[in-house]
Amino acid sequence: MSAVVTEEDVARYRDDGVVLIRNLLDERWLSVLADGIADNLRRPSPRTREYVNDPASGAYFFYDALVLGEQPAYDRVMLDSPMAEAVAALMESSTAVLFYISVFVRGAGTAERSPWHQDQPSWSAAGDQACSAWVPLDPVPLETALEFVRGSHRWRTAFERAPFFIDRYERDDRSGQTPFPDIEANRAGYDILGWEMSPGDCLVFHGMTTHGGSGALPAGLGRRAVSVQWLGDDARFREVPGGDSPRISEALRGRIRPGDPVACDVCPVVWPRATPGDTPAAPGH
């Protein structure tokens, strides 16, 4: 069992598809992340999106996705913080394989909520041991919280990807995809979870858990948050019809083939900690 995860946490993650770990990252790690975000805003990657940018109102929503080696501060947190140990325990996996990091920056008062969606149908990784670890660098009042539908990771339906503001995924082949249920119009019909959070708290949720929100910020409150995507023993590389989102597959092609374990130099095994000179091992080996 992880030093930062209890058996109750594991059971809650297994049943609910999401669990809150308080104070996973301390002030030292938050400072490293803040420096990384500041540099990332100055030097965005080719995967960046500005979902909202309204100079008149100040509304702003920046998103980026990076792999290992693209931002040194992010690399430090992904490789050396307690996060990898925690997610391995929650996934009940012998390993934690780093996938990529998502970065979210909303300007103060940005009102747009993220739509309800699942993450993993867009990923170039298949497998049940797949999760995200979402950490805010700013306070999260309950009314602005990221929300989850309890147990939705066990629905076993991959819904069509929701439109994200200006990003409509025009390249998707939607034939045969199930339209996403209108959760917001029928909130009483779902068991919705959300938490007030402090900087350094961490939400770990399954790749198939339906979630949304984390928006509608009041005047004076902005939000910086990162979400590190992790894989476990059963994860395998796959090609996504219409293209994965974000385009992590571009960094993996030539290193691994569809059906292979995802572990490689770009997506290393971070837990258990490697000894100096070790090369990344395939999950379960």
What's the half-sphere exposure (Cβ side, CA atoms, 13 Å) at 120? 26
81/221: higher pLDDT: 81
pTM, whole model, 2 decimals?
0.91
Mean pLDDT of 243-266: 95
The DSSP code sequence of 130-157 is EEEEEEESS-B-GGG-EEEETTGGGS--
pLDDT-derived band at 161, boundaries 50, 70, 90: confident
The yes-or-no verdict on residue 144 having pLDDT over 50 is: yes
CB 251 within 8 A of CB 264: no
- Burial label for 166, CB within 10 Å (0-12, 13-18, 19+), is exposed
Inter-CA distances, 113 with 95, 109, 204, 247, Å: 33, 11, 20, 23
* DSSP 8-class letter at 196: -
* Both structure tokens of 31: 């400072």
- In our burial notation (b when 16+ CB lie closer than 10 A, e otherwise), range 2-38 reads bebbeeebbebbeebbbbbbeebbeeebbebbeebbe
Mean pLDDT of 17-38: 98
Domains within the chain, CATH numbers bracketed: 7-271 (2.60.120.620)
Q: Which residue has the tokens 């500041």?
A: 38
Distance (Å, rounded) from C-alpha 153 to C-alpha 15?
Answer: 9
Mean pLDDT of 159-167: 66
* DSSP 8-class letter at 178: B
The yes-or-no verdict on residue 167 having pLDDT over 50 is: no
pLDDT-derived band at 54, boundaries 50, 70, 90: confident
CB 91 within 8 A of CB 129: yes
CB 282 within 8 A of CB 265: no
100/167: higher pLDDT: 100
- Give the model's pLDDT for residue 276: 53
